[in-house]
Amino acid sequence: MAEIAHKKPYHVDFVELMRMYETNYAKLNALLPKQPSVGDVRCYQAANNSYQIQVGEVTKYTTLVDICQSDDVPMFPLPKMSVRLYHDARVAEVCSSANLGRVKPRYEYPNDKMVQKDEKAQLNRFLGDWLSFCLRHGISRTPLNI
C-alpha cells in the first residue's frame, strides 16, 4: 500500500535567524560610517560590480539603510533591499525587498507571487553573503572615517 507523504509545517528557526541578524549587524557596521547621517552613501567596487549603501533614516536606537547593486549596464534585475539596524539589540534584518515590498516572517505556499515559505531567512542569508563579499573584495570609492 502506498504511503502518503505528510508535509511538516514550516517553522522559523529563531536561533539561526538571530545569529544571522547579529552577524549581518557586525558586517554592515564595518561598511557604514561611524556616525551615520541621513543621506550618507557608501559605494563599493567588487570585481566588475558596483554596490551602494545609503542611509535613509537615523533614530536613537535604529538606522535604516537601502542597499543595491548599481551597475551602469545591468544584465538582469539588480537586487535592492532595505535593512534596519537595531543598535540596542545589535541586530540587522531585511525589512523590504524590491520585488516584495515589506517582507513577512513566513509565507503560505503556494502563493500568487510564488514566494518561498522561508523568503525572509533567504533574503537575510543573501544579505550576509553580499556583505561578506563586499568586506573581502570591495574597494570603497569614498574614504572611510575610522
Asked if pLDDT for residue 145 goes beyond 90, the answer is no
Q: Are the beta carbons of 71 and 50 closer than 8 angstroms?
A: yes
Q: Residue 136 is placed in which grid cell?
A: 573581502
Q: Mean pLDDT across the chain, nearest whole number? A: 83
Helices and strands (DSSP H and E) totals, the chain: 2, 7
How is residue 144 annotated by DSSP?
Answer: -
Question: What was the pLDDT predicted at 59?
Answer: 95
Q: Residue 95 is placed in which grid cell?
A: 525589512
58 Cα distance to chain centroid:
17
Taking only Cα atoms into account, the Rg of the chain, rounded to an integer number of angstroms, comes to: 17
Task: Give residue-wise pLDDT tens across range 2-57.
Answer: 566 566 766 778 898 899 999 999 999 999 988 999 999 998 887 777 888 999 99
Question: What was the pLDDT predicted at 86?
Answer: 97
Question: What was the pLDDT predicted at 146?
Answer: 43
Question: What was the pLDDT predicted at 107?
Answer: 65
pLDDT greater at residue 59 or residue 122: 59
| Range name among 45-49, 78-82, 139-143 with the lowest pLDDT average | 139-143
Question: What was the pLDDT predicted at 72?
Answer: 67
Q: Residue 35 is placed in which grid cell?
A: 556616525
For the whole model, what pTM was predicted?
0.81
Q: How far apart (Å, rounded) are the C-alpha atoms in residues 124 and 28?
A: 12
pLDDT greater at residue 103 or residue 65: 65
Query: Beta strands of the chain (E only): which ranges?
Result: 41-46, 49-58, 62-69, 80-86, 91-97, 101-102, 139-140
